[in-house]
Structure 1
Amino acid sequence: MLKTLRKRFVLFSVMMISIILLILGLLTYMGPASYVSSGRFIWTISLAIGMVFAGSWLLSKAAIRPIKAAWQKQLDFTADASHELRTPIAVIRTTLELLMDSPEETIGSQMKWLKNMEAENLRLAKLVDDLLTLSKADTNQQTLETKTFLLNDVITNALLLFEPIATRKNIVLEVCINDNINFHGDKKRMEQLMVILMENALNYSDGPGTIKLSITQIKTKYKLMLTDTGVGIEKEHLDKIFDRFYRINQTRKRNPDGSGLGLSIAKWIVQEHGGTIEVASTPGIGTTFTIVLPVNKCLELSS
C-alpha cells in the first residue's frame, strides 16, 4: 500500500511540475510581456506550486494513516500481553516467597504450593507460545509445514483427548464424519485448531449437553461444523470474539485461566489454509462454529 502511494506521489509531482513548465513556456513564447511581468504570472506559478504541495500533503496523510493504525495495534497488543503475563508471574513469585519463608518444611508438605507453581508455569508457557504465534503471524514469519494427511484422524484424536472431560461434565460427543478424508495442510496447526474449538465448547457447556462435530464435502470445499449446547454468546459480542484478548465477562468467570487468544489463533490457522470461519449463537441454546476449507486439487485428481 505504501509503495502504491509513493508511486502516486511521484507521478503527481512530476505531472504538476510538467504543467508548471508548460505554463512557463507558453507564457514566455506567446504571452505579452506585460502579463509575464505582472502579478498574475506570479499568481499562476504560486497556484501550481500550491497544488503540488497540497497534493503531497494529502498523499502523505493517507500514507501515514495505515502506519499509525498498525503502530497503535502493536501498542495495544504489547499492553494486553503485558497485562496477561503479569498475573502468572506474580503468582509464581508470591508462591516462591511463601516457600522460602519456610525453609524447614519438606517438599512433601509444600506439595500444594509446588503444584500451584507448576500450573502457573504451564499457563505462562502456553501464553508465551500463543503470543509468539500471533507475533510471527503479524510479520509473516509464521509459515505452514504442509503435507497430506487424514483430516478425520486429526478430528477423532482431538475428540478422544477431551472425552474424559466431556464424560465428567455429562456431555455427549457426537461425530458425523467419513473415513479417509485427505487434506493437504499443516497437520500440527489443524490439531491446534481442533483443540481450541473443543476447549472452547467444553469450557462454556454444562451437562447434560451435547457437542456435535461434522464434516461434509460440497464440491471443492470441506465444511466443518462444531455445535454445542452451551451458554451461547450475546449478539453484540459475535463480531468481536475473534479479536485478540477479547473476553466476555461471563467467560472470565467460567475460564479464568484463559487469555482470549485461542479464537484469534483459530481464525489465523483457517485463513492461512485459504478457508473461512464463522460463528452463530443463541444465548441459552448454544453456539455453532462453521469452518470452510478448500479441497486440494491434486487430491481430487488422485481420488
Structure 2
Amino acid sequence: MTKQARNSFFKSLSIVVVCAIILYVMATQTFIGKGFGRVISDAFIIFSNSPSGEVSQVNWLKFKSFVISIAIFAIVIVGGLTYWISQYLLKKDRRYIVGLLQQSLEPEDLPTLDLEYREIQNELEKIKLTNQKNQDALMQETQRTKDLVTFLAHDLRTPLASVIGYLNLLIDSPEISTETRAKYLGIALDKAYRLEYLIDEFFDITRFNFQNIVLDYSKFDLTLLLQQLNEEFYPILKKKDQMLEMKISDSCLVDGDSTKLVRVFNNLLKNASAYGFEGSKIHLDVSSNKNQLEITITNEGQTIPPEKLEVIFDKFYRLDSARSSNSGGAGLGLAIAKEIIEAHHGEISAMSDKGCTTFILHFPQERE
C-alpha cells in the first residue's frame, strides 16, 4: 500500500471514530438516546412488586443475546466496510501501477507523479534503461555477427578459389617445371592453412558464446612460456621487420591454465604485430607485487580513438574492418583474452596515446 493509500485509510478510520463519538453523545446527551434507553429498559428490565416496594430485575439471558447480536452485526458492518475501503484503495493503486507500466514500455519519458509513487517510478525508469541498454547491446552484437558472417563467407571463398585454381593449373599443365610446381603447391598449402584458420574462428564463435571457460590449473614458469612464444613469433615479426623486447625475471612461477594463457598472449602479440608499424618494437614487461602479476604489451602504431577503446574487447569487433583477408580475423581475439583473464580472477584494459597502444593485464600469481 502506498503512502497515499495509507493516508486515505487513516482518514476513513478517523471518520468511523468520529461517527462513534457522535453516536455516544447522541445516546447519552439527547432525547434520542433517552428514548432508546427507555426502550432498552422496557425490553430487558422487569419490574415486580414486593412487600418492601417495587423491585427491578434485569433479564440477563435476553440482554446477552441482544449484545451478541449487536456485536455480530457490528463486526459484519465493520468488516464489510474495511474490505470495501481496502479494495477501493488497492484498485486505485493498481490503476496507477498499470499506467506506470504502460508508460515505462513506451519511448517517451515517464510523467512526474506524486511523491508517494516516485519510488515506483524510479524503479521502472531503472528497468526501462536496463532493458533499453540490453536491447541496444543485443542489436549491436547481432549486427556484428551478421557482418562477421559476410566477412568470413568472403574470406572463405577467396582462399578456396585459389586452392582450386592452382590445383587445376597443376592438373592441366603437366609440362610445368618442378620449381614452378613446388611454388604453386606452396601457395595452395598457404591458402589451405588460411581456410583452417577461418574454420577455427567459426568454432571459437560457438565455443565462447555458449560455454563457460573451465580452467585447468597447474604450476608453470611464465618466463619460459613467454620465451618459447617469442621464438614462435619470430617468423611473424620478421615479415614486418619488428622486434619483441621482453622484460621479465629469470623465473616467474604462476598457478593458472597455461594453455589458455598462451592463447591470451598469442592473441595480444598477434594484434600488436598486425597493428604495429613496420620496423617498430613491441615491448612485453612482467612485474609482480603482493601475489598480483602485471603484464603490459605495448606496440607502436596508430593511436586508437577513445570511442573505439571502449568497445575493443567486445565480441566480433574489428578495429579496422578494411583489413585484408590474410590478416583480418573474426574479431574474437581480444574478447577471448578478456574472458580467459577474468576467469583467472583478473582484469584486462587498454590505453592508447601518442602512437603507442598498451594492453595491461592483472591477475593473481597464485590461485585464489
Decide: shared fold, TM above 0.5.
yes
* Change in CA separation of 1:297 and 1:116 when aligned onto 2, cut-off 3 Å: closer
* Change in CA separation of 1:95 and 1:169 when aligned onto 2, cut-off 3 Å: closer
**Matches of 1:197 and 1:89, distance apart in 2:** 24
Partner of 1:294: 364
CA contact (8 A) 2:287 2:294 kept: yes
Report how many aligned residue pairs link the two structures: 274
Tell me the CA shift for residue 115 of structure 1: 4.5
Structure 1: runs of 5 or more not aligned: 1-14, 299-303
**Matches of 1:198 and 1:83, distance apart in 2:** 26
**Matches of 1:93 and 1:212, distance apart in 2:** 36
3-state DSSP class of the match of 1:231? coil
2:78 maps to a residue whose letter is M
Tell me the CA shift for residue 81 of structure 1: 3.2
2:363 maps to a residue whose letter is L
Q: Match for 2:95 among 37, 40, 50? A: 50
Partner of 2:59: none
State the Cα deviation string for residues 36-78 of structure 1 (Å, max 9, x = none): 5xxx88754532443565677767x769668756754663353
1:287 maps to a residue whose letter is T
**Matches of 1:217 and 1:143, distance apart in 2:** 25
Moved more, 186-195 or 81-90: 81-90
Tell me the CA shift for residue 137 of structure 1: 3.1
* Change in CA separation of 1:72 and 1:112 when aligned onto 2, cut-off 3 Å: farther
**Matches of 1:172 and 1:80, distance apart in 2:** 33
Q: Which has the higher contact order (CA 8 A, sep 6+)?
A: 1
**Matches of 2:152 and 2:239, distance apart in 1:** 30
CA contact (8 A) 1:270 1:276 kept: yes
Structure 2: runs of 5 or more not aligned: 17-75, 105-123
CA contact (8 A) 1:204 1:254 kept: no
CA contact (8 A) 2:166 2:188 kept: no
**Matches of 1:255 and 1:92, distance apart in 2:** 9
CA contact (8 A) 1:245 1:261 kept: yes
Partner of 1:203: 274
Partner of 2:34: none
Partner of 1:275: 346
- TM-score calculated relative to the size of structure 2: 0.60
Identity fraction in percent: 24
Tell me the CA shift for residue 188 of structure 1: 1.0
**Matches of 1:156 and 1:126, distance apart in 2:** 24
1:138 is the counterpart of 2:200: no
Tell me the CA shift for residue 212 of structure 1: 1.8
Moved more, 97-106 or 176-185: 97-106
State the Cα deviation string for residues 258-294 of structure 1 (Å, max 9, x = none): 33322222222211111111222224x3222211111
Q: How large is the Cα RMSD of the aligned pairs? A: 4.1
CA contact (8 A) 2:284 2:298 kept: yes
1:154 maps to a residue whose letter is L
1:227 is the counterpart of 2:298: yes
CA contact (8 A) 1:225 1:291 kept: yes
Partner of 1:6: none
Partner of 1:301: none
**Matches of 2:345 and 2:220, distance apart in 1:** 17
Tell me the CA shift for residue 186 of structure 1: 1.2
State the Cα deviation string for residues 179-233 of structure 1 (Å, max 9, x = none): 2211111111111111112212222333443222111111121111122233342
Tell me the CA shift for residue 295 of structure 1: 2.0
